Amino acid sequence: MGIGLACFLDKAGTGPSANLASRGGLHGGYETAVIRVHSDGKVSLFAGTHCHGQGHQITYAAIAAQRMGIDIAHISVVEGDTDRIPFGNGTWGGRSVSVAGTAIFKAADEVMAKTRRIAAHVLACDAAALLYTKGIFSNVAGKSISFANIADLAYHGANLPRDAAFSPGLEATAFYDPPDSNDPQAMHLAVVEVDADTGVVDIQQYFTADDCGVLINPMIVEGQVHGGLAQGIGQAMMENVAYDAVSGQLLTGSFMDYAMPRADSMPVLKTTFIETPAPSNPLGAKGASESGTIGAPAAIGNAVVDALWHLGVRHIALPLTSEKVWRAMAQARAEASAVPPVEMAIRPPGPSSHTRNGFR
**Residue 182 per-residue DSSP state:** B
How far is the C-alpha of 274 from the C-alpha of 333, rounded, in Å? 43
Give 355's contacts (C-beta < 8 A, 6+ positions apart).
none
Q: Check residue 139 and give its pLDDT.
A: 94
3-state secondary structure of 330: helix
Closest by alpha carbon to 19, among 168, 127, 135, 179? 179
How many alpha carbons lie under 13 Å from residue 6 in its C-beta half-sphere?
Answer: 25
**Residue 317 per-residue DSSP state:** P
* φ and ψ at residue 107, rounded to 5 degrees: -65, -40
Q: Check residue 338 and give its pLDDT.
A: 81
Please name the residue ranges forming H helices in the chain. 17-22, 56-68, 101-123, 147-156, 218-237, 291-307, 322-337
How far is the C-alpha of 265 from the C-alpha of 262, rounded, in Å? 5
Q: Are 107 and 174 in contact (CB under 8 A)?
A: yes
Q: Please report, in tens digits, the pLDDT of each residue of the chain (360 residues total).
A: 999 999 999 999 988 999 889 989 888 999 999 999 999 999 999 999 999 888 999 999 999 999 999 999 999 999 989 899 999 998 988 999 999 999 999 999 999 999 999 999 999 999 999 999 999 999 999 999 999 999 999 999 999 998 888 999 999 999 999 999 999 999 999 999 999 999 999 999 999 999 999 999 999 999 999 999 999 999 999 999 999 999 999 999 999 999 999 999 999 999 999 999 999 999 999 999 899 999 999 999 999 999 999 999 999 999 999 999 999 999 999 998 886 655 555 555 555 444 434 433
Closest by alpha carbon to 12, among 98, 125, 72? 98
Peptide bond into 86 cis (omega under 30): no
For the chain, domains (ranges, CATH) are 2-10+181-336 (3.30.365.10), 17-176 (3.30.365.10)
Give 92's contacts (C-beta < 8 A, 6+ positions apart).
none
Q: Are 181 and 13 in contact (CB under 8 A)?
A: yes
Nearest-5° angle of CA 239, CA 245, CA 247? Answer: 115
How far is the C-alpha of 144 from the C-alpha of 137, rounded, in Å? 5
Q: Check residue 358 and give its pLDDT.
A: 40
How far is the C-alpha of 266 from the C-alpha of 228, rounded, in Å? 12
pTM above 0.75, yes or no: yes
Q: Are 45 and 206 in contact (CB under 8 A)?
A: no
In whole angstroms, how large is the CA radius of gyration of the chain? 30
Q: Check residue 353 and give its pLDDT.
A: 43
Q: Are 186 and 209 in contact (CB under 8 A)?
A: yes
> What are the b/e assignments for 42-60, b being 16+ CB within 10 Å?
bbebbbbbbbeebbbbebb
How far is the C-alpha of 154 from the C-alpha of 53, rounded, in Å? 36
Q: Check residue 318 and give its pLDDT.
A: 95
Q: Check residue 356 and give its pLDDT.
A: 39
Q: Check residue 349 and give its pLDDT.
A: 56
